[in-house]
Amino acid sequence: MTTFIIRRLGGLVFVIFGVSLLTFFLAQLVPADPVAAALGSNARNEQVEAYRQQLGLDQPVVTQYAIYMGRMLQGDLGASIRTRRAVADDLRDYLPATIELTLAALFVTILIGIPLGILAALNRNTWIDGGARILALIGGAMPIFYVGLVLLGVFYRQLQWLPGPGRLDSTVQPPTNITGLYTVDALLTGNWLVFGNAVSHLILPAITLGLFSTAVLLRMTRSSMLEMLGQDYVRTAKAKGLAQRLVVGRHVFKNALPPILTIIGILFGSLLSGAVLTETIFNWPGIGRYATTSVTTLDYPAVMGVALVAAVIYPLVNTLVDIGYSVIDPRVRTH
Amino acid sequence: MQATASAAPIPTRRVLSPNALMLRRFTKEKTAVFGLLVILLFALLAVFAPLLAPFDPLAQDIPNGLAPPSAEHWMGTDKLGRDIFSRMLYGARISLGAGLGVVIMAGLVGTLVGIVAGYVGGWLDEALMRVTDIFFAFPSLILAMAIAGALGPSLQNALIAVAVVTWPVYARLIRGQVLVLRDREFVLAARSVGASHGLILRRHLFPNTLSPLLVQASFEMGTVILAVAGLSFIGFGAQPPTPEWGVMISEGRNYITTHWWLTFFPAMAMLFAVAGFNLVGDGLRDVLDPRLRR
């Protein structure tokens, strides 16, 4: 068990190293001069040179990378050219918004995907199954930026049932910062008004972001359930007169669960990544939007920071899922 | 002892070649055939767009802007009076072309890496797979955005970016196939009669990786179409006034409730094209790999 965990974490360190190398290489690719872009066209040559030295851009590439790595290991991701703040500080501000949105989308995914997948499998080849499969097909093929725009247009602009872009109404003060997740912080401080407002702001972006993963989870749950329903022990359980509810709950779903859990772990990672489009549409102050603005302004220290953090979270979540998985099912450790 | 020879003729069954058999199985998958028809329709629309389009997709007619669908403009016009139907047709060219281009680029690189990794094995395999790990760890859209941003926003650079992000999928897939195949009897037999590595790779290993490759490519077409449109939507892909579906939705975003046709038709085009490829991918997988049949 311990060696399994150590091996996975060792792989993680390697991946982080690789990701930093890749982003660093990308930053070198940029043809435009970020320094000139940051200082504007009126900057004098010596100003540009001084800023360049300050950023270490006058050093050879290898030295630059060594400096970058050395700082990174101390948690220093450099300074953003655009915001002139430490990238780590920027990320600390933006990351909680993305995590909150991702968790909300995952909640939507699980809430809809698993029950519908089970229903579809239990009612195979009926209209329920057909409907669920069409939903999965549409969810997997719909451009989510269109879905987001339509939801905003209908439920915010037209019907005014739900609030518009942003994490809170402009009249509402954010809760005391504890975790950075507004809903959690509002709950912790017992601030129900803020909690309700934060939740209502989460609904539309969470549905938008969660649509694709709902489709994936629905399909996965359906096929995993179908596979288990065809097993001999299910027939035995039915034959001995066990109620359908118990057969499904106690036998089928439990055994269908491992692949479903794995896919949820993978989906969490892809949701973090997919948040870019959703955050743009809903003006959500998360790392996706931070990355978009940073790329637009060629602020590559910031882009590298986002990439690094995202690239750590994704394998970290998958590693955690794998470890959890190996606790539930010891057979996977040998693979 | 030929007494039975003249008796009732033995009912003969035509023996089908494996390919014909697969084709027959595929045609039995109704949803897959539907998907294929949708793709074919889009392909025809894309190829014959210049003949089919009633208007120049870039021609502006501002007095006639934001006109709802009518007999003249089947899908209405956008704010600059451009015919949406014509733009959607040309958009099919761009999206299908983009999908095909990226799938071929990424598929070639990925297949090559996968075959080499799987066949050679050892430290080279280990190294190449660790490289794919790094790419998988990256959130793909952020990486694609960073690449497209670094190269400068254009459709071509968006395609390169998406190809860079997607090749590891093929590499992993093909490597897995080659690992299984490499120790199979027919490969060992070929090796024992002195076939060169090149010949074994070309004649024995590569053809046997084609079916999973085809399935993956079909799914990837859908993914790539969405990714390229997404990049264009946020400004890192095709640029206005290009009649690209993502650009069209971006241009019509402020009219979503007031003039729905600006964004609805390109979105539906994308939905159908992507769903078509996904259905074909499902069907192909069921046909080519009956073990996964559910």
Q: What are phi and psi of B83, to 5 degrees?
A: -75, 120
Q: Report angle CA B183, B189, B194 to the nearest 5 degrees.
A: 110
> What pLDDT, on the 0 to 100 scale, is given for residue B64?
86
Residue B219: pLDDT band by 50, 70, 90 thresholds?
very high
Which residues, 6 or more positions from B136, have their beta carbon under 8 angstroms from its beta carbon?
B168
Tell me, which fold does domain A87-296 have in CATH?
Answer: MetI-like fold (1.10.3720)
C-alpha B152/C-alpha B140 separation (Å) is 18
To test the contact with chain A by mutation, choose from B38, B133, B134 the residue with the greatest count of A C-beta atoms within 10 A, namely B134
Q: Which of A223, A272, A295 faces B139 most closely, judged by CB atoms?
A: A272
Instruction: Note whether A138 contacts B: Cβ–Cβ < 8 A.
Output: yes
Which residues, 6 or more positions from B280, have their beta carbon under 8 angstroms from its beta carbon?
B32, B35, B36, B39, B218
Run means of pLDDT, 10 residues per run, chain A, 335 residues: 76 81 79 66 76 74 82 81 87 92 95 94 92 93 94 93 90 87 89 92 96 94 88 85 82 83 83 86 92 87 84 77 71 55
In one-letter notation, the amino acid at residue B50 is P
Number of A–B residue contacts, CB under 8 Å: 142
Is residue B294's pLDDT more than 50? no
Report the phi/psi class of residue B76: left, alpha or beta, with left for phi > 0 and alpha for psi in -120 to 50: left
Residue B1: pLDDT band by 50, 70, 90 thresholds?
very low
What would the mean pLDDT of B261-271 be, rounded to a whole number? 95
CA distance B4 to chain A (A): 45
Instruction: Note whether B222 contacts A: Cβ–Cβ < 8 A.
Output: yes
Instruction: Note whether B81 contacts A: Cβ–Cβ < 8 A.
Output: no
Instruction: Note whether B268 contacts A: Cβ–Cβ < 8 A.
Output: no
> What pLDDT, on the 0 to 100 scale, is given for residue B33?
93
Is residue B6's pLDDT more than 70? no
* A-contacting residues in B 223-262 (Cβ below 8 Å): 226, 229-230, 233-236, 245-246, 249-250, 253, 256-257
Closest residue on chain B to A124 (Cα): B294
Question: Which H or E element spans position B70?
Answer: none
> What pLDDT, on the 0 to 100 scale, is given for residue A136?
94
Instruction: Note whether A142 contacts B: Cβ–Cβ < 8 A.
Output: yes
* Contact indicator for B195, B205 with CB cutoff of 8 Å: no
> What pLDDT, on the 0 to 100 scale, is given for residue A322?
74
Whole-prediction pTM: 0.88
> What pLDDT, on the 0 to 100 scale, is given for residue A269?
77
Q: Which of B131, B245, B263 faces A149 most closely, judged by CB atoms?
A: B263
Q: What is the overall mean pLDDT for chain B?
A: 88
Instruction: Note whether B291 contacts A: Cβ–Cβ < 8 A.
Output: no
> What pLDDT, on the 0 to 100 scale, is given for residue A227?
86
Q: Where are the domains of chain A?
A: 2-73, 87-296
Instruction: Note whether A140 contacts B: Cβ–Cβ < 8 A.
Output: yes
**Per the structure block, which two tokens stand in for A259?**
């692949």
CB atoms within 10 A of CB A254: 11
**Per the structure block, which two tokens stand in for A329?**
């099912």
C-alpha B203/C-alpha B193 separation (Å) is 14
DSSP 8-state symbol, A246: H
C-alpha A37/C-alpha A56 separation (Å) is 16
> What pLDDT, on the 0 to 100 scale, is given for residue B130?
87
Question: Which H or E element spans position A286?
Answer: none
**Per the structure block, which two tokens stand in for A330?**
């010891």
> What pLDDT, on the 0 to 100 scale, is given for residue A335?
45
Measured between beta carbons, which residues in chain B are less than 8 angstroms from residue A11?
133
- CB–CB contact A19 B249 (8 Å): no
CA distance B43 to chain A (A): 18
Sign of dihedral through CA atoms A318, A322, A328, A331? positive
CA distance B1 to chain A (A): 49
- The number of CA neighbours under 13 Å toward the Cβ of A309 is 25
Q: Which of A26, A140, A288 faces B146 most closely, judged by CB atoms?
A: A26
Cis before B241 (ω within 30): yes
**CA-CA-CA-CA torsion for B128, B130, B134, B136, nearest 10 degrees?**
80
- The number of CA neighbours under 13 Å toward the Cβ of B249 is 31
